[in-house]
Structure 1
Amino acid sequence: MSDRTILVWFRNDLRIHDNEILLEAVRKADKVLPVYCFDPFYFTKNASGAPKTGSLRAKFLLESVADLRNNLRLLNSELIVRIGAPAEILPQLCLEYGVNEVYHHREVAHEETDISEQVEAALWKIKLNLKHFIGHTLYHKEDLPFPIKDIPDSFAVFRKKTERESTVRPVLDTPVTINTPTITDAGEMPNLSDLGLDQPVDDQRTSTKFIGGETSGLVKLEQYLASPEALLAAKGGRNVQSSKLSPWLSLGCLSMRQVYWAAKQQHTDALEMELLWRDYFRFMFKKHGTKYFKAGDSSVENDITDELFDKWKNGHTSVPFIDASMHKLNATGFISNFSRQMVASYLVNELEVDWRRGAAYFEEKLIDYSPASNWGNWGYVAGIGRSTRDDRYFNSVKNHADLATDGDFITKWLPEASADSSSLAAAI
C-alpha cells in the first residue's frame, strides 16, 4: 500500500505553532509536503501604476516565508517555494509528488476566495480534494452564539454576546517532526527585484523595527507582555499603547489564540479588544461578502480630488498630525490604529475623496495589511460599515492643534510646522 501524502498550502498562516492544517496533516498522512506560492497577482500594478503590494509589505512577507522555511527545516522538513499562480503550481506539485489531498485555511475576502476556487477547480481536474480549515480567528465560527448570517452588525453587541456565551479554544500542539517526501527542487527564495519591487530605504527615524516571521513574532509577543504598559494593564490600569503585534497576526506568524492565552497567563485583557476587532471584521466579510466594502455611493473623482489625494498620501496637507502620520506610514509601513482613523477621516470627511482610494493605498503600504481589517476599518470610518455606532467622524482639522506629531517625521518634511506638543507622541 502506497504512502498517503498531504500537501499543506501555506497562505496567511506562516507558522508551525497552533496551525491546524499542519498538525492535522502530520496526524493523517505518512508524508507532508509544505508549499508556499508567491502569486504574481499580488504584485501587479493598478491603473495609476502603483503596486498592489509595496516594498515594505513585500519585505516583511519575504522575511516571514524565509523564517517558516527555517522552522520547518528544524523539524526535518522543507518548504517548497514557487513564483506563480497557485492554480497552476499546486496541481503540478501534486502530480510530481503523488499527493492525495491538499489542505489550506479558508479565507473570506473575495480576491482570496477566488484564488481558492481556482485551485479547487484545478485540483478537481486531477481528482484531488482541497480541504478547507478555519484558522484565522480567535473564536471558531462553530463556537459563536449565532450563525454567520445572524452575526450582529454592531460591534458592541457582537462583543458582548461573544464574550459572554463563547469560549476560546486552546492552542494546538506543535509538531515535533514532519516526514516530508524527498524534494528534488525546493526552490530559491525570491528577492524584491524578482517580484518587480525596489529595496525600501531603511528609515532611521522609526523606533520600532519590524522583522517578519514566527520567530520574531513570538519574541515581540514576549517583550510586549513584559512591557510596563502590559504590566500596568494587568493591574487594572489603562493601556494606551499599541501592542504592534498586528504585522505578525496579519500573516499568521502569530496565532490569535496564542496571543490571547499568553495574555491571559499574564492576567491582562489588554489585547483582547484588538483581537475581537479582527474577528468582527473577518466575520462581517464572511456575512456580507463584497457588499460589505462596496456599499454606498462613490465620491466624484476629478482633477481636484486627484490633487487632494496626492497631497494626502504624500503628507503635504499642511496639517501636522496628518502629514506626520502619512510620512511615517510611507517610511515604515506602520502607524497606530488611532493615526489610521485620523488620516482616514481626514481624507473622507475633510477632503471628500472616495474612501476606496485610501483603502487601496493602505493595502499597498501597510506591512500588517489584512483585507477584512483594512477595508472593514475604512468602510467603518466612511460610514459604510455595518456598525450602529454614530461617532465615526473625527474632525481632524478642528483637533489637530491638540494632537502631538512625531517630531522626526514632521520636521524633516515640513520644517515650518509646529511640533511642540509631545503628550500623544506615542500614538503614531
Structure 2
Amino acid sequence: MQTKQNKTSLVWFRNDLRIHDNSNLLNAIKNSETVIAIYCFDPRYFEKNKSGFRITGKYRAKFLIETITDLKEQLLKIGVPLFVYNENAETSIANLESQFQFDAMYLQKEWTKDENKVFDLVRKIWKKDFNIFEDYIQFLYHPNTLNFSIEKLQTVFTNFRKHVEKNFEIRLENEIINIENKNTSVINKTVIPTLEDLGFKDFEQHPNSAFPLKGGETEALKHLNDYFFETKKLGVYKKTRNGLIGKDFSSKFSPWLANGSLSAKTIYYKVKAFETLHFKNQSTYWLIFELIWRDYFKYVSMKHGSRIFKIGGILDKDYQWHSYQKDISKWINGKTNEPFVNANMIELKKTGWMSNRGRQNVASYFAKTLKLDWRIGAAYFESMLIDYDVHSNYGNWMYVAGVGNDPRDRVFNVKLQTERYDSAGKYQRLWLQDKLF
C-alpha cells in the first residue's frame, strides 16, 4: 500500500460501479488528499456495431442510468464528487484534469480490445506524468493469487474449477469503514444523461419481465439480502435455476455483476454467511459454482485476446457459416419454426432479459440449426441484454457454437428441451400470445 502521497486523484469508473468492495476507490481515498470520480457515457458504446445493432441497447442503457444515479448518491455520502459526461472518455478526462491537475488515476484493469483502445487514448491526450493504479476487482479468484501463467489456463472448465477450489483462497472484501473524504467544496455541475440524451425513447417496463429490478449498488444489495436471508430462495437455487417465468427462479445477480455494481466476492461471502446462519446444500454451492464459471470466461478472454471475437473462435474451427438476413430477422423477431425459440426471442426483445436455459437453446438454434455466423447472434445479445458481459457472452456463444471450451461440440435438441422445461407450454403461451409492446 502506497503512503498518502497524491494531492489529488481521479477514480475512473467503468465496469466497477460500486463503493463496496472496491479497492481502487478505497486506495484512492486512503492515499490522496482529494479524490474526484468520473464516469463517461462514451458515445462509442452507443453506436451501431458491424452487424447493425446498437452496441448498448435501451434496456441496458436504462439500467446503466439507474446505476450511475445511485453511484453518484453513494459517493456523495463519503465526500467524493462524481463527474458524469456524455462524451468520449479521453476528452472528458482531459477537461477534468485541466481543472484539477490530478497526480494519480485509479481504475479497474481491463484487457479486452475496446477498453484498451479507450485507455490508450486517455493516456495519449493526458500529457502530464501521473501515477496509474490499476487492479483486477471483477474476479472471484484474483489473478495475482493464481500460481500458473495465463498461458497454462486449463482448456476445460471442470479442470480449472477443481484446481482453484483446491488450491486458492478468495481474498477478503475491501471495506470502506469510517473513511470520509472531506471534499465538500468542489462544484460539480455535470448531469446524468437521460435515455433521450442517449438516443432512445423512454419506455415502461414490461409487466411480465422476469427482471423487474433497477440498476445500482443499493438495489443489488437489497436484492441479495432478499434472495438470501428474507426468502431463503438461495436454498433452492439449483432446483429452480432452469426456470423460465418470474423473478425468483434464478438469482438475477448477473446485471449488477456485469457493470460491477455488485462484486463476486460480496456474493461469495454472503453465501458463506447464509451457510453459517442457516444451512449448506447443493444450491448454496451451485451459486458459487456459477461465479467460478464467470471467472473462467474472464480468464479465457485474457488468455486468447481478440480470438474470442474471431469466427473460428479459440479452437480455430473452420465451419461453414452463413449470414442470411432473412433467417437472422426471423430469429430476432421470433418467427422461426420453433415456438420455444420464438417465445424466448420475443421475451428478449420486449424485456432485455432471457433465462439461461433460453439463451442456450436460441444460441444453439442460431449457430447449429440455422448455421448462421455465431458472432451476429452474440452481437445481438450484446445490444439487447441487460446483463451483457463481454467475457461471458462471447465465451458462451463460442461454447454453444462449437468453437470454444466444449470438446463435445453439443447441439441442443430444442424439442426435447421444450418438453423438459416447458412441457405444459405455459412459457410459450405467455410470450407468443402477448400483445404488449
Same fold at TM > 0.5:
yes
Alpha-carbon separation, structure 2, partners of 1:207 and 1:284: 29
Distance 2:310 2:51 in 1: 20
Aligned position for 1:71: 74
1:420 maps to: none
Partner SS state of residue 4, structure 1: strand
Q: How far off its partner does 1:155 sit? A: 0.4
Residues in 1 aligned to 2:146 and 2:418: alpha-carbon distance in whole angstroms: 40
Q: Quote the residue 1:290 is aligned against.
A: 306
Distance 1:180 1:385, change over 3 A: farther
Moved over 4 A (4+): 297-300
The 3 A distance-change label for structure 1 pair 347 and 3 is: closer
Find the aligned partners of 1:48 and 1:239 in 2 and give their Cα distance: 35
Partner secondary structure for residue 30 of structure 1:
strand
Q: Which amino acid aligns with 1:127?
A: D
Residue 312 and residue 93 in structure 1: after superposition, are their counterparts in 2 closer, same or farther (change >3 A)? same
Change (3 A) 1:129 1:118: farther
1:110 is aligned with what amino acid? K
* Among candidates 280, 297, 300, match of residue 281 of structure 1: 297
Determine the C-alpha separation between the residues in 2 that align with 1:228 and 1:306.
46
Please say if residues 400 and 409 of structure 2, whose CA atoms lie closer than 8 Å, have aligned partners that are also in contact: no
* Counterpart check, 1:396 vs 2:414: yes
Work out whether 1:250 is the aligned partner of 2:276. Answer: no
- Alignment partner, residue 20 of structure 1: 23
Unaligned 5+ runs, structure 1: 415-428
**TM-score, normalised on structure 2?**
0.88
Q: For residue 87 of structure 1, report the CA deviation from its aligned partner.
A: 1.4
In the alignment, the residues of structure 1 paired with residue 74 and residue 95 of structure 2 have an alpha-carbon distance, to the nearest angstrom, of 25
- Helix, strand or coil: the match of 2:357? helix
Question: Are 1:336 and 2:339 matched, yes or no?
Answer: no
Q: How much has 1:120 moved relative to structure 2? A: 2.4
In 2, the alpha carbon distance for the partners of 1:68 and 1:150 equals 37
The 5-angstrom pairing of residues 170-319 of structure 1 reads 170-175=172-177, 176-180=179-183, 182-226=185-229, 227-232=231-236, 238=239, 240=241, 241-267=249-275, 268-296=284-312, 297=318, 299-301=320-322, 305-319=324-338
Could you say what the CA RMSD is over the residues aligned between the two structures, in angstroms?
A: 2.2
Q: Is the 8 A contact 1:145 1:161 kept in 2?
A: no
1:377 is matched with which residue: 364, 377, 396? 396
Q: Unaligned 5+ residue runs, structure 2?
A: 242-248, 276-283, 313-317
Separation of aligned partners in 2, 1:306 and 1:382: 19
> Which residue of the other structure, out of 100, 104, 110, is the alignment partner of 1:107?
110
Whether the 8 Å contact between 2:211 and 2:353 is mirrored in structure 1 is: no
- For 1:243, the aligned partner's letter is S
- In structure 2, the residue matched to 1:32 is 35
Instruction: Name the residue aligned to 1:161.
Output: 163
**Between Structure 1 and Structure 2, how many residues are aligned?**
407
Q: Alignment partner for residue 51 of structure 1, among 42, 50, 54?
A: 54
**Range moving further from structure 2, 281-290 or 129-138:** 129-138
